[in-house]
Amino acid sequence: MNTKNLTFVLVLFIGLFTSCEYIDYDWDNDPPKNRRTVEQDYRELVENEFTFAQLTSSTSIKEGFLSFLAEDGIIFRGDFVIGKAFYEPQEPTSDILSWKPVFADISRSGDFGYTTGPFEIRTSEASVEPDGYGEYVSIWEGKPDGTWKVAFDLGIFYGNSGMSFPDIVFPDNFPLKVNIDWDKEKLRNELIEVDAFFGTISATENLKNAYDRFLAEDTRLLRNGSIPFATPEEVNMLVNDATQKPTFELVDADVSKIGDMGYTFGFTDLEGLRRPYLHIWKFKKFTGWRLALEMSFLPVTYST
């Protein structure tokens, strides 16, 4: 068996066998029958993102982030750092950061999810036009006291696209909420293995092959210097020319308490340039872990 076929077999094994308890678990018929959906949790997640944005733009970046970051929440400032430890000694600046979510998703546990959308930054209130544009991703965790806190936040920059971004569209239907105590550390380790196999395929074959084997049907690819690749046509345009062979160095990972959603983050390395990446994963019944969102600083290359 050649190396490529062996890699495929290993990926298939991990993708299908990982978290096999989820394949056998009947998500929608677990008693009691009067379980509620995750709609209320989803709305709380989105409302907290809007409140976070409003507070930050009306006060200061420091106050906004200190109010909504988890105690161990991670941000990127040249390296991955604890956000509160970074902001607490800082003096507030005159920079004005504003943003809005245009997409959100949530675990069926109802206490783990993420939002993404465009942001603008101005260096002062006198700035009529933004001084910078970009896209953010915030990963949120619901706490036992009912509050939501940001566990991870990362952003990319791009030029003024001249686009008007749509308001967030809430799903028509929400799945039933699931409250099961799985072995979270086991699930986290399984996701780490999946992310490592994604990186192995990228480094030994190419990034396109890694995408082809792991991308979800509705994935979003976010690259520094470019507006989001959010539709299937946009994603295919990027993927089809992704012949680079970057390596992926994991820093850390986390999963929801029922293991249907998780994220991994670390650094890519391409031609000696080491830059951050974020992968958000969703577990799909019968197909295993699929990459729902990637944010990276890899160069954008595609045919026009």
pLDDT at 6 exceeding the cut of 70: no
pLDDT at position 275, please?
97
Kindly report, residue by residue over 187-212, the tens digit of the pLDDT: 999 999 999 999 999 999 999 999 99
Q: Which two tokens stand for residue 214?
A: 């792991």
On average, the pLDDT of the chain sits at 89
Q: Which amino acid is at 139?
A: I
The dihedral built from the CA positions of residue 117, 104, 57 and 90, taken in this order, carries a sign that is: negative
**CB-based contacts of 265: which residues, under 8 Å, 6+ apart?**
74, 80, 152, 154, 250, 251, 252, 253, 276, 277, 278, 279
CA distance 145 to 153: 22
Sign of the CA dihedral 102, 106, 111, 116? negative
| Both structure tokens of 49 | 């993102």
Can you give the pLDDT at residue 127? 67
Each residue's pLDDT tens digit, 141-190: 999 999 999 999 999 999 887 777 789 999 999 999 998 878 899 999 99
Residue 298: predicted pLDDT: 96
Q: Is the pLDDT of residue 8 over 60?
A: no
On the question of pLDDT at 101 being above 80, the answer is yes
Residue 72 has pLDDT above 50, yes or no: yes
Cα–Cα dist 105/271, whole Å = 34
Of 10-14, 89-93, 132-136, which gets the smallest average pLDDT?
Answer: 10-14
Give the full edge-to-edge strand order of the sheet including 288-296: 215-223, 288-296, 273-284, 261-270, 247-255
pTM check: above 0.75:
yes
24: pLDDT confidence band, cut at 50, 70 and 90? very low
Domains detected in the chain? 3-29+180-296 (3.10.450.50), 39-158 (3.10.450.50)
Contact 250, 269 (CB under 8 A): no
pLDDT at 299 over 90: yes
**pLDDT for 165:** 77
Q: What is the rounded CA–CA span in Å between residue 137 and residue 265?
A: 12
Q: Note the pLDDT of residue 124.
A: 80
The token pair that represents 225 in the structure block: 């210097």
pLDDT for the residue 150: 98
Which one has a higher pLDDT value, 130 or 66?
66
Q: What are the backbone dihedrals phi and psi of residue 133, each rounded to the nearest 5 degrees, phi first? A: -130, 155
Tell whether the model's pLDDT for residue 29 goes beyond 80: no
Does an H or E element contain 93, and which?
A: none
Res 25 pLDDT > 70: no
- Does residue 22 surpass a pLDDT of 60? no
Sign of the CA dihedral running 283, 284, 285, 286: negative
Instruction: Tell me, rounded to whole angstroms, the distance of Cα 53 from its chain centroid.
Output: 18
Q: Which tens digits make up the pLDDT trace of 225-252?
A: 999 999 999 999 999 999 999 999 999 9
What is the Cα–Cα distance from 192 to 177, expressed in whole angstroms?
25
**265-292 tens-digit pLDDT:** 999 999 999 999 999 999 988 889 999 9
